[in-house]
Structure 1
């Protein structure tokens, strides 16, 4: 079966971001018609849910600086809430994306292959061996 234009290919977060990914903020994606804002939030064409833009930074040390920062669009009925920072005061939070998909496309400006990332949710990074609290937040393992 061939992939159709606009196909959303499911991928695990750790495959797309093997060095991790950090979120910096969440904002609604506004809808545009003929290049003009409609003043309304964009709705996902597949789910009809509002679309939110999660600004992220890829932690891959080999990526050029201009490719490290981009947006993952999250389709959800309510604005996603980023996990608490693991280091107080740090503006970037390590995250995992739920239902992450990638859609390859050709960028009209550069005529190069590009990727669009979408997800159904965003959550905290769970450290292996760390017990998980009832709230879903990760707690540090007990000292030996």
Structure 2
């Protein structure tokens, strides 16, 4: 078979309506290597990078309730930092770069499932919001960005 291992996929293909962070970034434990007295954290088998995970909710209005919450694993040397929350929103919108998907058969269900991985997490680009009902969000984000730029002449903003 020509396809082996993770399959590269774009964020917009996985989350065409976007997604929202609903948990904290956590380092993934290697349960096979850990003991009761010593915690060992997982490393990606291909890259050797530490594995972190975040839970997100898929903003697709047609997604089944059981498929709304998704875990994305992030492969990076340092703990990913979520973007700052947007005023007036209960959850923080995020996007992922360098995404891959690995299909597998769930041990408990015997059904096809998918493991999502990424190389980075960041704030969404305002132009990437596809739905017209999110136009207000895009405008608010653009206004916030403009306000931050205008008021940051005297101070340095960390990226």
Q: TM-score, normalised by structure 2?
A: 0.74
Kindly indicate whether residue 18 of structure 2 is the aligned counterpart of residue 23 of structure 1.
no
1:87 Cα deviation from its structure 2 partner = 2.1
Kindly indicate whether residue 73 of structure 2 is the aligned counterpart of residue 58 of structure 1.
no
1:2 Cα deviation from its structure 2 partner = 2.3
SS of structure 2 residue aligned to 1:102? strand
* Larger Rg, first or second structure (1 or 2): 2
1-structure distance, mates of 2:54, 2:93: 12
Gaps of 5+ in 1: 130-137
The residue aligned with 2:43 is 43
Which protein is richer in strand relative to its size?
A: 1
2-structure distance, mates of 1:126, 1:48: 29
2-structure distance, mates of 1:82, 1:108: 31
In 1, are the aligned partners of 2:82 and 2:121 still within 8 Å (CA)?
yes
1-structure distance, mates of 2:34, 2:104: 20
The residue aligned with 1:9 is 7
1-structure distance, mates of 2:112, 2:40: 30
How many residue pairs align between the two structures? 131
In 1, are the aligned partners of 2:11 and 2:96 still within 8 Å (CA)?
yes
Kindly indicate whether residue 112 of structure 2 is the aligned counterpart of residue 113 of structure 1.
yes
SS of structure 2 residue aligned to 1:32? coil
Q: TM-score, normalised by structure 1?
A: 0.81
In 1, are the aligned partners of 2:33 and 2:40 still within 8 Å (CA)?
no
1:31-58 superposed Cα distances (whole Å, 9 cap, x missing partner): 1118966511111111111100111111
1-structure distance, mates of 2:30, 2:79: 16
Gaps of 5+ in 2: 129-140, 147-159
